Amino acid sequence: MIIDKLIAEKILSFALSRKADAAEVFLRAYSSTSIEVKDQKVDAFDRARDIGAGLRVFTGARMGFAFTTDLSDGALASLAEAAVTNARHTEPDSFHSLPEKPASAYHTARIYDPEIVALSEKEKIERVMAMEREAFGVDVRIKRIRKASADFSNAETLILNTKGAEVYYTSTACSSSIEVVAEEKGESQAGSDFDVNRFYRKLLIEEVGRRAARRALDLLGAKHIDSVKAPVVLEATVAQEFLSLMASGFSAEGVQKKRSLFMGKLGHEVASSVITVLDDGLLDGGLGTAPSDDEAVPMQKKTVIEKGRLALFLYNTFTANKDKTVSTGNGMRGGFKGIPGVGLTNLYIEPGKLSPEDLIGPIDRGLYVTEIMGMHTANAISGDFSVGATGFWIEKGKKAYPVREITIAGNILDLMKHVDAVGSDLRFSGRIGSPSLRIKELSIGGK
C-alpha cells in the first residue's frame, strides 16, 4: 500500500483549520509500463509513476481546488491554503456541495489482479514479441508490422470527505494492440486489432496478433461498389464508435449547457425497440468499474435507453443539484489534478442472441462494415455523420468480397431507430462496448 490515510486526514484538518466549511481529498498513486516491439526487438519502453492529492474545499457557496505531488507536511499545508484562497476568488454557486456518506457499504469490485503488479519486464516484453510472431505466422503474405504494443498499469485510490464518506480501492489494467500489413500482387492492406482487460490471464495477446493478420488478409482484392441504399451490419468495434458519438449526449451537464443530442427527448423514443443502453459501474471486470465514482458516490447499474426510450441522464453531484435530483454515480475526473465532471462508467448496448453470421444471413445484398475512418468529424450535437468505411459486400446472406473506398452517411438517431437486430458478440474498447448491429437501410457512397 502506497497511499496513507493519515495523509488524507491531515489535508482535511489543514483545510478545516483555514476556515473551509467542507472539504474532499482525492489521493491516487499510479504506475504503468508501455512497450513497443518491432522485428522482435524492443522499439520503445516507458515506465511512468505518479502520486498526488487533489483537494476541493467549500466556503459558503464558493468552491476552490488545488493539487500537489509533494506529500510532505509543509506541502500539504500549502495545498490547503491554496485551495481555500482559490475558493475566495471564485463566483458563488449554490449548487456546489459534497455528497453525503452512503447509507450502506460500497460494492466490492473485482478490478485488481496482483499478477499484473508482479509481472517481470522480461515477460511483458516476451508477450508482445509473441503477438508479433503470431501475426507473421498466419500467412507469408503478412509482410510488415507497423506497431505492436502493450500496456500494464496499476493504481490505488482513496477518497475522503468531511461528511464521512470514505472509499479506498486498488485496480489494474492491461492492453495489447497491433497493426499489420498484408501484401499480394502489388496490393497492400492493413489490419489491426486490440484487447484490454483488468486481468492478465484474460488478455488475448497472441490472439490479437492472429486476428489482425486475418483482417489484413481478408481485405486483399478489395473492390469498389456503386452508391446504393442497402442493409448494413456494423461489426461490434464499429458499433462502439457510433455509441461513442451518442455518449456525450447522455451527460446532464451537456443538457444543462444545451449541447446535447438528447435535449428535450427524455422519456421519448430515440432508438429502435431492440436497443437498450446500460451504464454499469458494477460490471464485473469493467474498465469503468469501481466501488464509487470519483466523488465517493456508490457505483450503480443504470438503464440509459430502455427498449428505445431515453430513460435517464447521467449526473454528478453538481449537475444533480441543479436539476433537484441525485447523483447517478457518474462524477468522474482524469486524476488528482482535476475536479469531477460527468463521465461514463461502463456504457454499452445490451447484447442480443444472434451471431454475426445470423445478422448477415437474411440480407440479399448489403454491406458488412469492419472499420470506419473519420468519426471525429461527426457532429455530436446534431448527430450527423459521414465517414469512410471498409468491409465486405454481402450477397445472398454471405460475405461475397471485400470492399474499400466507400462512405456511409446519415444521422446517428436515424441509424439507431433503424436497427432491426442486435448481435450477441458484446465487445468493449475502454469504457464503451457494443455487439454487432444490423441496420435496415443506410446510404452507402461508392464510386
Same domain as 374, residue 427: yes
Same domain as 87, residue 225: no
Please report where in the chains the cell 469492419 appears, as a residue: 370
What is the C-alpha to C-alpha distance for residues 84 and 88, in angstroms, rounded to an integer? Answer: 7
The domain that contains 169 carries what CATH number? 3.30.2290.10
Same domain as 70, residue 197: yes
Same domain as 31, residue 175: yes
**CB atoms near residue 396 (< 10 Å):** 9
Grid cell of 69 as nine digits: 505531488
Q: DSSP E strands: which ranges in 60-210?
A: 62-68, 142-161, 166-184, 187-197
DSSP for 244-295, written as a single string: HHHHGGGBHHHHHTT--TTTT-TTSB-S-TT--EEEETT-TT-TT--SB-TT
Overall number of domains in the chain: 2
**CB atoms near residue 190 (< 10 Å):** 16
Residues of the domain holding 237: 221-243+351-445
Same domain as 143, residue 237: no
Residue 37: inside a domain = yes
Same domain as 168, residue 83: yes
Same domain as 200, residue 187: yes
Over range 278-301, report the average pLDDT. 97
Residue 286: inside a domain = no
Phi, psi of 201 (to 5 degrees): -70, -15
Q: Give this prediction's pTM.
A: 0.96
* pLDDT tops 80 at residue 447: no
- Tell me the torsion sign for CA atoms 345, 349, 351, 354: negative
Same domain as 226, residue 210: no
Residue 337: inside a domain = no
- The pLDDT score that the predictor gives to residue 1 is 67
Same domain as 200, residue 143: yes
* pLDDT tops 70 at residue 322: yes
Over range 13-17, report the average pLDDT. 97
Same domain as 151, residue 33: yes
Residue 336: inside a domain = no
- The pLDDT score that the predictor gives to residue 154 is 97
Same domain as 211, residue 231: no
Per residue in 23-73, pLDDT tens?
999 999 999 999 999 999 999 999 999 999 999 999 999 999 999 999 999
Same domain as 232, residue 170: no
Laid out side by side, the sheet with 301-306 consists of 309-310, 301-306, 277-280, 347-349, 432-434, 427-429
Residue 288: inside a domain = no
